[in-house]
Structure 1
Amino acid sequence: MGVLSWVILGLIAGALAKWIMPGRDPGGWIVTMVIGIVGAFIGGWLGALVGLGGPVTGFGIGDIITATIGAVIFLAIYRMFKRRGN
């Protein structure tokens, strides 16, 4: 259930990241949701490094916040590289 919960959490985090950082994204909502999934993994990994928790065991508020922060960071990096490439 660990990976599946990260994917579901990533979809939620992607939607929250899009809400926090509105604007036109190259790729639209689908790419943003994929970015949310990747951001959830990155946020969980970084959270584990600094001692904020490990893999998702449920959908606690801390897990959602950590995944959303990871998704926002990854979305910002994605936007930066996509705009540079145009």
Structure 2
Amino acid sequence: MLSLSIIGWIVIGGLAGWIGSKLMGTDAQQGILLNIVVGIVGGLIGGWVFGLFGADVDSGGWIFSFVTCLVGACILLFFVKLVSGRTKA
């Protein structure tokens, strides 16, 4: 089993958070630090969601970890936009 280091999670989280913010139209409000946080929290959310569907998120590798973080980041940003009432300008 290949385990990701802290640096790996920061890199994957940052990329996933940045791409997720581009997809969700929130990139203008976020900096690099918030993109990393969104990606890492998105990884937790995505791991939980994929776990509900029976996916083995622990041994998925780098690409599956990135997809998990990206999906979770989009879910997180969707709910943040929903609660905050922000729309695309």
TM-score greater than 0.5 by the shorter chain: yes
The reply to whether residue 36 of structure 1 matches residue 39 of structure 2 is yes
8 A contact 1:16–1:68 mirrored in 2: yes
The reply to whether residue 64 of structure 1 matches residue 63 of structure 2 is no
Displacement of 1:53 after TM fit? 2.0
Alpha-carbon distance between aligned partners in 1 of 2:9 and 2:58, rounded to the nearest angstrom: 8
Closer/same/farther in 2, CA of residues 3 and 46 from structure 1, 3 Å limit: farther
Q: Which amino acid aligns with 2:20?
A: A
For 1:30-69, what per-residue CA distance to the aligned partner results, in whole angstroms no more than 9, with x for missing partners?
Answer: 3233112100111012212212222366312x32222111
The TM-score, its normalising length taken from structure 2, stands at: 0.68
Structure 2 residue matching 1:59: 3-state secondary structure: helix
Alpha-carbon distance between aligned partners in 1 of 2:50 and 2:81, rounded to the nearest angstrom: 23
Please identify runs of 4+ aligned residues in structure 1 that moved more than 6 A. none
Alpha-carbon distance between aligned partners in 2 of 1:66 and 1:6, rounded to the nearest angstrom: 12
5+ long unaligned stretches in structure 2? none
The reply to whether residue 13 of structure 1 matches residue 16 of structure 2 is yes
The reply to whether residue 48 of structure 1 matches residue 51 of structure 2 is yes
Q: Which amino acid aligns with 2:40?
A: I
Q: How many residues align?
A: 81
Closer/same/farther in 2, CA of residues 3 and 40 from structure 1, 3 Å limit: farther
- The alignment's C-alpha RMSD in Å is 2.4
5+ long unaligned stretches in structure 1? none
